[in-house]
């Protein structure tokens, strides 16, 4: 065993980056299945990325979104409309989505400026992170003419792979589109019923 000594907490924290420490082991070990947990991608991110700052993730996403859209336009040559809009479902305006960018009525852009670990996870697995799957599906639920959604991943801290795009097509999501549309309709019926009941007190 080696013992590393440090003069201050800052250098101690820096030395922990990219290492499996006792407190991190739970984020690495997979007890069931063959996939990797987020800790695995955090290790890679810490070795590749510039140190994360304390910026609020939502604020960071908002700040980087225009850069991500510009990069997408440059890489693809597509004209992206970034007007501030909300799309609503034809039958029920309570079913909605706010696109980051639109390309006519048949294509849209959703930007993801995530933590470096989540960014790398999406790139290495080539899959949409589970917490954004329903958001992506909602685009197709709301816009029945939408054929393709471009998920633009952008993290300038990872210089070797700061940008990539995952494409989702309507035909790949048909079952989910139908299932989640029906679910939302049923939930909204329940909500309307409860609101009506409570309004009559």
Question: What pLDDT, on the 0 to 100 scale, is given for residue 49?
Answer: 66
Domain that holds residue 163: 54-199
Within a domain: 180: yes
Helix (H, G, I), strand (E, B), or coil: what is residue 131?
helix
Total number of domains constituting the chain? 1
Within a domain: 11: no
In whole angstroms, give the CA distance from residue 133 to residue 124. 17
Running along the chain, 201 residues long, what does each successive block of 10 average in pLDDT? 64 65 54 69 72 75 93 96 90 88 95 91 92 90 95 93 96 93 88 85 66
Question: What pLDDT, on the 0 to 100 scale, is given for residue 1?
Answer: 40
Q: Structure pTM? A: 0.80
Q: Are strands 148-154 and 107-112 parallel, antiparallel or unpaired?
A: parallel
Within a domain: 71: yes
């Amino acid at each position: 065993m080696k013992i590393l000594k440090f003069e201050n907490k800052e250098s101690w924290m820096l030395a922990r980056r990219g290492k499996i420490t006792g407190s991190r082991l739970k984020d690495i070990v997979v007890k069931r299945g063959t996939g990797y947990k987020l800790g695995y991608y955090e290790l890679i991110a810490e070795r590749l990325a510039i140190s994360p700052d304390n910026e609020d993730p939502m604020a960071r996403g908002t700040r980087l979104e225009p850069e991500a859209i510009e990069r997408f336009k440059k890489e693809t040559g597509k004209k992206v409309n970034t007007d501030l809009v909300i799309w609503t479902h034809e039958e029920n305006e309570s079913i909605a989505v706010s696109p980051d960018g639109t390309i006519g009525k048949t294509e849209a852009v959703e930007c993801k400026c995530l933590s470096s670990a989540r960014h790398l996870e999406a790139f290495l697995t080539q899959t949409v992170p589970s917490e954004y799957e329903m958001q992506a599906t909602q685009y197709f639920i709301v816009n029945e003419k939408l054929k393709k959604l471009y998920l633009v991943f952008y993290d300038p801290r990872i210089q070797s792979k700061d940008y990539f795009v995952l494409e989702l097509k309507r035909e790949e999501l048909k079952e989910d589109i139908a299932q989640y549309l029906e679910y939302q309709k049923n939930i909204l019926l329940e909500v309307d019923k409860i609101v009506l009941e409570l309004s009559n007190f």
